[in-house]
Amino acid sequence: MEPLSKAQIEQLFEFTRKKYVQFYDVQVELVDHLATTIEATITENPTLSFDQALQKVYAGFGIFGFAKVVQQKSEAVEKLNSLLWRQAFVSYFTLPRIALTIMVFMFCFWITSMLPPHFSDITIIAIWIAFLVYGIWFIRKEKKFKPNKPLLLYRDPMLIGSPGFIVYQICISNNHYITNPWLVAIAGALLFVMQASIVQVYKTIRNKAVQLYPEAFMLG
Amino acid sequence: MQKTNPIVKGSLTTIVLKLLSENKRMYGYEITRRVRELTNGEWQITEGALYPSLHKLEAEGMLEVTIEQMGNRARKYYSLTQKGSKETTKKMAELKSFFEQMQLILNIPGLAIK
């Protein structure tokens, strides 16, 4: 079996792009499949040209072509992200990480109890600023990992700031702030868990993407 | 255009899991070829059915992927996770039970389920 040339492989990448497959991670798998099947098809029938073999192989993907593969891959990625997020979230309510959650809860409770009631808004604003600063710092730090080829697997770290945004929404939608230390402690602990889970999932996915598709990142 | 037999399509997850349990790792085309070989060309798994199934299993944590450079292109290999191995055993037991019940109903001559 004669392997396809580098130029033919590039032609296959171009073919997937023309068929609206914009994500590099999907293209890689499709190109290998097309190439292997074309090689086998030409071996079985040497009179077929590369283009004829390609059209024959593409027909195997049905009337929707690559669209179904991309759509279902997209759904699978969403599902995987949800699974990872649920696992990360739950991990902060089980040993050993629950210790961290309890510490954040106790800190928020202690600080709200210590300060006079009208100072609770300062606590909430401080939590918001802390989340916001962390979110901005993290997003800036992660810029170096931005892929130069779009990946379905990879997400921009924009969600990292979302817990800070939730606190901001609470601040602007309430004329009077929460003064009950239990409520502040529960909200603080939950926001911490959300933030920590989002960061953890983002890092897991980013590491996986860098490991599987290093050529898609500006690392080298 | 080829279409995957609906019965085969319904059992695709089990087929993929079983093949991966017998082989350390496989790539997409290899799975379609193996099914064709095992069934003497009777069963064809189309790409449009196989890849969504592989991606779904990966999302459910049943499969893990590695990428290796093969000549001038990258190849994505699938292998079973621990969860995937457990699921394979479960699926095989379910399928065996299904065939036993079907045989009780249909009583197909010459078909013996061990």
Which residue stretches of chain A are H helix?
Answer: 6-18, 24-44, 50-59, 67-91, 98-114, 120-142, 162-173, 181-212
Distance CA A158, CA A128 (A): 16
Q: Is A154 helix (H, G, I), strand (E, B) or coil?
A: coil
Looking at residue B1, its pLDDT comes to 47
pLDDT of A69 over the 80 cut: yes
Looking at residue A177, its pLDDT comes to 57
Mean pLDDT of all residues belonging to chain A: 82
ipTM, two decimals? 0.77
Check CB contact under 8 Å for B48 and A213. Answer: no
pLDDT of A169 over the 50 cut: yes
Ranges A192-196, B8-12, B79-83, B104-108, most confident: B79-83
Looking at residue B86, its pLDDT comes to 94
Ranges A104-113, A176-185, B72-81, most confident: B72-81
Ranges A8-22, A64-78, A202-216, most confident: A8-22
Q: Which of B1, B29, B65 sits opposite A36 (nearest CB)?
A: B29
- A90-118 per-position pLDDT tens digit: 998 988 889 999 998 898 888 878 877 66
- Contacts B41 to A, Cβ<8 Å: none
- B24-45 per-position pLDDT tens digit: 899 999 999 998 888 888 888 8
How much is the pTM? 0.78
Q: How far are the Cα atoms of A80, A93, A139, A171, A194 from residue A162, in angstroms, in the given order?
A: 20, 20, 12, 14, 9
Which residue stretches of B41-81 are H helix?
Answer: 47-59
pLDDT of A206 over the 70 cut: yes
Model confidence at A11, in pLDDT bands (50, 70, 90)?
A: very high
Instruction: Identify the contact set of chain B against chain A, taking CB-CB distances under 8 A.
Output: 1-3, 27-29, 33, 46-48, 51-52, 55-56, 58-61, 65-67, 70-76
Model confidence at B62, in pLDDT bands (50, 70, 90)?
A: very high
Distance CA A30, CA B111 (A): 39
Q: Which has more pLDDT, A48 or A159? A: A48
Q: Which of A32, A69, A80 sits opposite B59 (nearest CB)?
A: A80
Read off the amino acid at residue B46: T
Looking at residue A159, its pLDDT comes to 61
Q: How far are the Cα atoms of A58, A62, A65 from residue B16, in angstroms, in the given order?
A: 22, 20, 22
Q: Which of A9, A28, A68 sits opposite B52 (nearest CB)?
A: A68
* Mean predicted confidence (pLDDT) in B16-31: 92
